[in-house]
Amino acid sequence: MGIDWGDEAMIKYDANGLVPAVIQDTQGRVLMMAYMNEEALNKTLQTGETWFYSRKRRIVWKKGAETGNVQKVRRITADCDRDSLLIVVDQHGHGACDDDGESYSCFHNLIMSDGPDQSDLRPQREALSWLYANIEDRRRSPKVGSYTNYLMENGLDKILKAFGEEAAEVIIAGKNDGDEELVYEASDLLYHLLVLLVYRKISLETIWHELLGRSSLSGN
């Protein structure tokens, strides 16, 4: 799994030796929240599947051992204080909720909602977030021959020039017949937009909030 044991050793457990873990699938859907002790976290790291600590039964247990709803770990991150975990998984079986045998997520009891469900946007958000994170990583850790670093090192004017060129190519592709060229050029344009956002330190969440705010306006 590419484990960095140094990071794991820095996890801050509470007075009961536990750390909360939020489980999310690769599409950005929150599946469940459970607790881990050091043994459960170590088993998760070693097996690549989620293990938790039951505060009621006081035992370490493997998710899906009896139901088949196994969670294959893709990524584990800690928050700023290192006292909470976010674990991204491939969810197997019918879903994360074992109580009713039907719900994909354990968070299915609606208490309040101020608008429509935006879950249909999550796959797109996940893909863009992954690319944004990779551009951020390239900026922090430059790589010889990287086009992203070439743009960053040459500054804002170079990034804007490249973005403008890509925008023009999208316009040309949009005028031509066929979709393949437009898809290709639109992908280039999105990449250069993300480079610009990373350079200006504008997060994707800021963009999501702006777009969702507009969706609630009449006439949109």
pLDDT, residue 3, reads: 47
pLDDT, residue 220, reads: 54
Q: Is 85 strand, coil or helix?
A: strand
How far apart, in whole angstroms, are the C-alpha atoms of residue 75 and residue 86? 8
pLDDT, residue 129, reads: 79
193 — phi, psi (to 5°)?
-65, -40
Q: Is the dihedral of CA 35, 41, 43, 49 positive or negative?
A: positive
Domains, the chain, in order of start with CATH, read 5-91 (3.10.20.810), 119-215 (1.10.287.1080)
Nearest to 193 by CA among 141, 142, 151: 151
Residue 22 β-bridge partners = 33, 86
pLDDT, residue 15, reads: 96
How far apart, in whole angstroms, are the C-alpha atoms of residue 141 and residue 136? 9
132 and 35 Cβ atoms separated by less than 8 Å: no
pLDDT tens by residue, the chain, 220 residues: 444 545 556 899 999 999 999 999 887 889 999 999 999 999 999 999 999 999 999 999 999 999 899 999 999 999 999 999 999 999 988 889 887 666 788 987 777 765 545 554 555 566 787 788 889 888 888 889 999 999 999 999 999 999 999 999 999 999 999 899 999 999 999 999 999 999 999 988 788 778 777 765 545 5
pLDDT, residue 1, reads: 46
107 and 35 Cβ atoms separated by less than 8 Å: no
CA end-to-end span of the chain: 44
Using alpha carbons only, give the angle 62, 68, 69 rounded to the nearest 5 degrees. Answer: 75
Q: Residue 109 contacts by C-beta under 8 Å, 6 or more apart in sequence?
A: none
